[in-house]
Amino acid sequence: MATSVQTGKRQALRSLWIGGRLWIGAVVAVLLSATMAGIILAHVSRLFLHARHDVATLEQLRLVLDTANRISAERAPSNVLMSGGPGLPSARDRLRAARAQTDQALARGAAIVPAALLQDAVRHLARARALVDQAASQPPAGYGAVQNAVDALFAAYDAYRAVVLWRAAPLIRFDPELAGPVQHALILCFLRDDAGRLGSTIIAPLVAHAPISSSNIAAGDRLSGRIAMQWQLLALDPDLTDGGSRLAALRAEAETAYFGDGQPLVAGLIAEGRHGGAYTSDAAAFSGHYVETLTPLEIWRTACLDALLARYRQKEHQALDVAWIVGGMMLVVVWLIAGGVLLVHLRVLRPLLEASEAVVALVHDQPVRLPLSHPGGPELRPLIDAVALLDIKLRERAAQARQLKYQAETDELTGLLNRRAFLMLGEPRLAGAGPGERVFFILLDIDHFKAINDRHGHTSGDRVLVAVANALRAHVRPCDLVARIGGEEFAILIQAPSQGIALSLAHRLRQSVAGLAILSTDGARVSVTASFGVAAGDGLIWRQCVAKADVALYAAKRAGRNRVHLAEQDVFAWPSPPRSGPLPA
């Protein structure tokens, strides 16, 4: 009996000793796991706090950059208002709205911007606005008054640039990861402003109808050089804004709009200003057109900033997700260790102790079934979704390509071919006329179109362009090419057996244009005529044929306008007067 009791005590002590050692090991394993998880969580927490700080500072930088852009954007409506042209009330309303947006942006930034820096920028901005209002109140504004207002607007932006650098400098200096993206954002912001400044260098000469000063020419040269350098700097780090095809497309659109249209427009007006100031555009029309060329650049800048902020917000969310995952894994590890120890204790340790002591007669050992499952189908779901998404994106891309092709070949206002499409379709026809057919180039220009715009407004001018385009379209065959190749200049390319048919068509078109009944926005009748130049393309290349028709057109204008003039080279080849009648189908 005593031996049995002693044996039972020894068995209980051994079971307690072995079980205690097992649980001690489990506690040690839990502590080691907790230590490792704590180290990981500490690192993840630092990443999360760093990412949150980056997002907050980038949002502040975005705010000051947007405010800087609003200050820069005030220049366009200010320029239009100082021009004193048609649409002055609407120009004043647009400027009032632009100023309100700037003031709202400045108010939002007041909480994060040092008061001294902000007050300096506000003071410069108030002075610039006063000079703009003063120049606009005494039409026609003089060269000096407009230039002083423009320079004051530049100074207001430069004053706020100190705020931009104040916010960006710590990010560049102390955060290597943000240095590149922040510099990229700054270059984009300053590029947009410099492009706007380049357009403003020609505003005072346009308003005053005076030659451009040497200082403005020098400023334009400096700005052009700086813009080119900024664009090259942006090209050095394409990965900083690598947001896929959308950002690439926006970049290409911005480059095409500005360097293909905006900058050449300014260069052309500066060249006109160098030679006496006989400008082909007024300040209001130039400002409206030039702002349109800057819009894609501003859209690209905004998209890049959005992409940058989205990337760092994603980092913040990822760090938080990792923290939750690590914490969850730690709980799982603790549960697994405790469950494993309990399982070993209940399913392995106790039966072994009982067997070793030859006391336990039965051993209960059941296989552990892990709750593993293999759904199968869900693993394929991302691939199926990806294929479906690819199909949608390809169809969207095809639709966009068709739309872009239409936009690239069609004049947006009139629906006719544009210059590029006219050249692309017309040049092969000029070189490949069929037997018995000759190619004729008809060039026409609306007479006194600038006066129509000045008197009735640009909306009425647009109505005139659309009406003329419809008249041309109604009198030509579907196989003929009709295009708007300039502001008020149109071109027609036809194939006809004789010169008389081409001249007959030109006369009918002239009569049709002269008979148009067009009302302006205020109900007044707009009188429209056009001058025509007709040239045969026999044995000529495209450039020669266009030049030939152009000479004939200007001969028609010199002869009094509202008439058809045949190219002089073709007069001797015309054996009989032009016959009337419709152009053969």
581 occurs within a structural domain: no
Taking CA 143 as the corner, what is the angle to CA 137 and CA 145, rounded to the nearest 5 degrees?
45
CATH code, 459 = 3.30.70.270
What is the tally of helices (H) and strands (E) in the chain?
19, 7
Measured distance CA(125)–CA(99) in Å, rounded: 10
Q: Is residue 348's pLDDT more than 50?
A: no
> What stretches of 511-559 adopt beta strand conformation (E)?
518-519, 525-526, 530-536
Query: Residue 439 contacts by C-beta under 8 Å, 6 or more apart in sequence?
Result: 429, 430, 433, 493, 494, 495, 536, 537, 538, 545
Query: Are residues 123 and 251 located together in one domain of the fold?
Result: yes
Query: Are residues 435 and 558 located together in one domain of the fold?
Result: yes
Sign of CA dihedral 152, 154, 160, 162: negative
375 occurs within a structural domain: no
28 occurs within a structural domain: no
The least confident of 44-53, 385-394, 451-460 is: 385-394
The number of folded domains in the chain is: 2
Residues 309-319: tens digit of each pLDDT = 888 888 778 87
Domain boundary among 267, 293, 321: 321
190 occurs within a structural domain: yes
> Which residue would you say has higher pLDDT here, 366 or 376?
366
Domain boundary among 321, 350, 371: 321
Domain that includes residue 565, residue range: 419-571
Query: Are residues 441 and 309 located together in one domain of the fold?
Result: no
From the number of C-beta atoms within 10 Å of its C-beta (0-12, 13-18, 19+), residue 386 rates as exposed
CB 308 within 8 A of CB 185: yes
339 occurs within a structural domain: no
Residue 364: both structure tokens together: 């209960």
- Report DSSP state, residue 579: P
Query: Are residues 236 and 123 located together in one domain of the fold?
Result: yes
Query: Are residues 314 and 177 located together in one domain of the fold?
Result: yes
- Report DSSP state, residue 113: S
582 occurs within a structural domain: no
577 occurs within a structural domain: no
- Residue 519: phi, psi to the nearest 5? -110, 140
> Which residue would you say has higher pLDDT here, 458 or 355?
458
Taking CA 222 as the corner, what is the angle to CA 220 and CA 228, rounded to the nearest 5 degrees?
100
- Residue 529: phi, psi to the nearest 5? -135, 170
Q: In the predicted model, what is the mean pLDDT of residues 340-356?
A: 54
From the number of C-beta atoms within 10 Å of its C-beta (0-12, 13-18, 19+), residue 239 rates as exposed
Measured distance CA(401)–CA(497) in Å, rounded: 38
Residues 139-165: tens digit of each pLDDT = 777 888 889 999 999 999 999 998 999
Mean of all residue pLDDT scores within the chain: 82
Asked about 489 being catalytic, the answer comes back as no
Q: Is residue 197's pLDDT more than 80?
A: yes
Three-class SS state of 404: helix
- What's 464-507 look like in SS3? HHHHHHHHHHHHCCCCCEEEECCCCEEEEEEEECCHHHHHHHHH
Q: Is residue 241's pLDDT more than 50?
A: no
Q: What is the DSSP string of 248-276?
A: HHHHHHHHHHIIIIIHHHHHHHHHHHHTT
Helix axes 2-73, 143-174, angle to 10 degrees: 160
> Which residue would you say has higher pLDDT here, 223 or 48?
223
The least confident of 7-11, 184-188, 331-335 is: 7-11
Which residue out of 74, 437, 488, 489 is catalytically annotated?
488
- Report DSSP state, residue 529: -
Q: In the predicted model, what is the mean pLDDT of residues 285-302?
A: 89
Query: Are residues 290 and 428 located together in one domain of the fold?
Result: no
Query: Residue 569 contacts by C-beta under 8 Å, 6 or more apart in sequence?
Result: 535, 548
Q: In the predicted model, what is the mean pLDDT of residues 448-477?
A: 93
Query: Residue 25 contacts by C-beta under 8 Å, 6 or more apart in sequence?
Result: 341
- Return the percentage of the chain with pLDDT > 90, whole number: 37
Domain boundary among 304, 321, 338: 321
Q: Is residue 364's pLDDT more than 70?
A: no
Residues 86-133: tens digit of each pLDDT = 666 788 888 899 999 999 999 998 888 899 988 999 999 999 999 998
Measured distance CA(180)–CA(192) in Å, rounded: 19
Three-class SS state of 346: helix
**pLDDT (0 to 100) of residue 553:** 95
Helix axes 88-109, 115-136, angle to 10 degrees: 170
Q: Is residue 434's pLDDT more than 50?
A: yes
Sign of CA dihedral 298, 299, 300, 306: positive
**pLDDT (0 to 100) of residue 25:** 76
Query: Are residues 302 and 426 located together in one domain of the fold?
Result: no
499 occurs within a structural domain: yes
